[in-house]
Amino acid sequence: MVAWIGASLALMPVAGAQNTAQDLPVFGRSQAVPNPPPPALQNLPQGLPDLGDPSAALLSGVQERKLGESVMREVRGSGGYLNDPEVVGYLNELGNRLVNAVPGAPFDFEFFAMADSSINAFALPGGFVGVNTGLILLTQTESELASVLGHEITHVTQHHIARSLGNQRDAMLAMLGALAAAVLVSRSHSSSSGDMTQAAIASASGLAIQSQITFTRQNEEEADRIGFQRMVAAGFDPTSMATFMERLQRSTRFVEGNAPNYLRDHPVTTQRIADAQARAQGLPFRQVPDSLDFQMVRALLRSYEGTPREAVAFFRDAIAERKYNNEVAAHYGLVAALLRAQDLKTAQAELTALEKTAPPHPMIEGIAGQVLMQSGQLKAAITRYQAALVRYPRKMQLVYDYPEALMKDNQASKAATFLTEQLQRFPSDGPLHQLAARAYAALGKQLLQHQHQAEFYAWQGNLKAAVMQLELAIKAGDGDFYQLSAAESRLRAVRQELVDQEKDSGSNRRAG
């Protein structure tokens, strides 16, 4: 279980309902006299505008975003980050629909998923919102998932994070330091042991829990209340927040003895459910159908559960017994599970059947391309990707897989051209840089290969590896003057970032 995140921003409630919020000393901490700021924050620029909110004065939007970005780089490099373009793409569509439903969001938001079956969602500083796959699978409707995201978005828009950093910044910095250490451990053991990562992250989690980094009860109440308004403004079912809280309470009732601390610290009281029900009662009933995307993303996540054989059996049974929310999604899940099981022939047959009944959909294009590519039909895959990209130019699964197919078909030069164009649209996209590194490696262009590999490592937060790659790029001797000076200036920038990071983690350790 990767529980560290929940510690700072636990969404929820738990069954341990005998713990009422009043019993929890943690909620009193906001009144504590702040300790002197740790060194990392003493260096922050003075004279920030006073917005009438002490926390906002302590940490500006720019500073909060910078902190969030650095945590996010660690998250991307930590084995738990789910690097699945379909899931990431969907979460960002849904999340931004909620963000844009109410004008005036303080940040560009980025939503992501953690491959973790425990039930959690969380907001990081600066507009980054994560959801565990366990929570996505627990939701039964898109509106339920929207209610969770609405709650987390509200922690960001209401500056709860800046406020919690204001009250408890020492603890927060200590947690970030511990997390960075966990990631470091996971890197040095990356080949052998996922357990090591888990253990290290669990200890970061333990530290965070000890540090009691939580939102106040008032923050949680506000996140429920304003998150509800946001969800309704975005057109979702008003009853879904209460429905999901009840589902959550049922699902955690049986694990009470083993419930993680963060869950015990954040009881979902009957009060919280009653409040959510009361809010919905004032509004006209609205039936909101789920998007096909929601159902397909859940099916895709389900296809990753258990062994490949178990996943195939799950969808076969569901289809045979008609136990699904959506028929197209169930068949899509079966194709995904068959692909995972490398049963390409059956996958192809099931896909053909699916396409006869399903409406046109980019996720079907994506999986069709994969079935073709993995079964070695490269020309057919390339043709299919080209047509699909005309129709869905922003679907990242297609954007990643098309150059992959080109490279497999020994068309690295065409892949490199395509990737260069895409990097102009998405300059900070890590996976695109990694693909570009491979395309240039195939073409024997070493400077460009190492430079793109460096950008991929930087995206993952591994600045040391990025520096090494940039040094290799400069030594390669196969670039022109402009390429060389670009690599040199990037090397200087990344080295500086590394120095800053080491300074910060030093002060984190002191703070912890």
Q: Does position 487 bind Zn ion by CB under 5 A?
A: no
DSSP symbol at 33: P
Binding pattern for the stretch 342-381 against Zn ion, x by CB under 5 A and - elsewhere: ----------------------------------------
Region from 65-73, 198-206, 212-220, 417-425 binding Zn ion, contact rule CB under 5 A: 212-220
Smallest distance from the beta carbon of 123 to Zn ion, in angstroms? Answer: 8
CB neighbours of residue 52 within 10 Å: 7
Number of shown-chain residues binding Zn ion (CB under 5 A): 2
Find the angle CA(212)-CA(216)-CA(217) to the nearest 5 degrees: 125
Alpha-helical (H) ranges within 78-216 are 85-101, 133-138, 142-157, 160-188, 194-211
Region from 37-45, 63-71, 191-199, 213-221 binding Zn ion, contact rule CB under 5 A: 213-221
Smallest distance from the beta carbon of 267 to Zn ion, in angstroms? Answer: 12
| Beta-bridge partners for 121 | 131
Q: Quote the tokens at residue 171.
A: 């603890």
| Beta-bridge partners for 114 | 81, 132
Specify whether the CB–CB gap between 116 and 133 falls below 8 A: yes
Distance, in Å, from the CA atom of 401 to the CA atom of 361, rounded to the nearest integer, reads 16
Q: Quote the tokens at residue 432.
A: 């695109």
Question: Which residue number, 223 or 367, has a Cβ lying nearer to Zn ion?
Answer: 223
Binding pattern for the stretch 245-274 against Zn ion, x by CB under 5 A and - elsewhere: ------------------------------
Closest CA to 14 of 223, 288, 358, 260: 260
Question: Which residue number, 8 or 460, has a Cβ lying nearer to Zn ion?
Answer: 8
Question: Which residue number, 268 or 334, has a Cβ lying nearer to Zn ion?
Answer: 268
Question: Which residue number, 11 or 373, has a Cβ lying nearer to Zn ion?
Answer: 11
Region from 170-178, 223-231, 325-333, 482-490 binding Zn ion, contact rule CB under 5 A: 223-231
Smallest distance from the beta carbon of 215 to Zn ion, in angstroms? Answer: 6
Smallest distance from the beta carbon of 223 to Zn ion, in angstroms? Answer: 5
* Residue nearest Zn ion (C-beta atom): 223
Question: Which residue number, 223 or 416, has a Cβ lying nearer to Zn ion?
Answer: 223
Distance, in Å, from the CA atom of 123 to the CA atom of 113, rounded to the nearest integer, reads 12
Distance, in Å, from the CA atom of 486 to the CA atom of 114, rounded to the nearest integer, reads 34
Distance, in Å, from the CA atom of 291 to the CA atom of 269, rounded to the nearest integer, reads 31
Q: Quote the tokens at residue 277.
A: 């029900």
Question: Which residue number, 91 or 223, has a Cβ lying nearer to Zn ion?
Answer: 223
DSSP symbol at 30: G
Question: Which residue number, 262 or 402, has a Cβ lying nearer to Zn ion?
Answer: 262
Region from 215-223, 271-279, 349-357, 422-430 binding Zn ion, contact rule CB under 5 A: 215-223
Find the angle CA(240)-CA(242)-CA(243) to the nearest 5 degrees: 60
Region from 67-75, 216-224, 231-239, 479-487 binding Zn ion, contact rule CB under 5 A: 216-224
Binding pattern for the stretch 288-307 against Zn ion, x by CB under 5 A and - elsewhere: --------------------
Smallest distance from the beta carbon of 220 to Zn ion, in angstroms? Answer: 5
Question: Which residue number, 13 or 430, has a Cβ lying nearer to Zn ion?
Answer: 13
The rounded radius of gyration (Å) of the Cα atoms in the chain is 24
- Work out whether the CA dihedral 298, 299, 303, 305 comes out positive or negative: positive
Q: Quote the tokens at residue 44.
A: 């922050």
| Beta-bridge partners for 81 | 114
Specify whether the CB–CB gap between 141 and 122 falls below 8 A: no
Smallest distance from the beta carbon of 456 to Zn ion, in angstroms? Answer: 33
Question: Which residue number, 225 or 340, has a Cβ lying nearer to Zn ion?
Answer: 225
Question: Which residue number, 20 or 386, has a Cβ lying nearer to Zn ion?
Answer: 20
Torsion region of 13: left, alpha or beta (phi above 0 gives left; psi -120 to 50 gives alpha): beta
Region from 182-190, 220-228, 231-239, 445-453 binding Zn ion, contact rule CB under 5 A: 220-228
Exposure string of 91-114, with b = 16+ CB inside 10 Å and e = fewer, is bbebbbebbebbeebbbebbbbbb
Smallest distance from the beta carbon of 262 to Zn ion, in angstroms? Answer: 11
Question: Which residue number, 135 or 439, has a Cβ lying nearer to Zn ion?
Answer: 135
In the list 223, 354, 363, 494, the residue contacting Zn ion (rule: CB under 5 A) is 223
Question: Which residue number, 74 or 220, has a Cβ lying nearer to Zn ion?
Answer: 220
Binding pattern for the stretch 99-128 against Zn ion, x by CB under 5 A and - elsewhere: ------------------------------
Smallest distance from the beta carbon of 121 to Zn ion, in angstroms? Answer: 8
Contacts of 335 (CB under 8 A, 6+ apart): 347, 350, 351, 354, 367, 371
Smallest distance from the beta carbon of 219 to Zn ion, in angstroms? Answer: 7
Smallest distance from the beta carbon of 151 to Zn ion, in angstroms? Answer: 6
Smallest distance from the beta carbon of 163 to Zn ion, in angstroms? Answer: 13
Distance, in Å, from the CA atom of 355 to the CA atom of 314, rounded to the nearest integer, reads 21
Question: Which residue number, 86 or 220, has a Cβ lying nearer to Zn ion?
Answer: 220
Binding pattern for the stretch 17-46 against Zn ion, x by CB under 5 A and - elsewhere: ------------------------------
Distance, in Å, from the CA atom of 113 to the CA atom of 116, rounded to the nearest integer, reads 9
Q: Which residues of the shown chain bind Zn ion in the complex (CB under 5 A)?
A: 220, 223
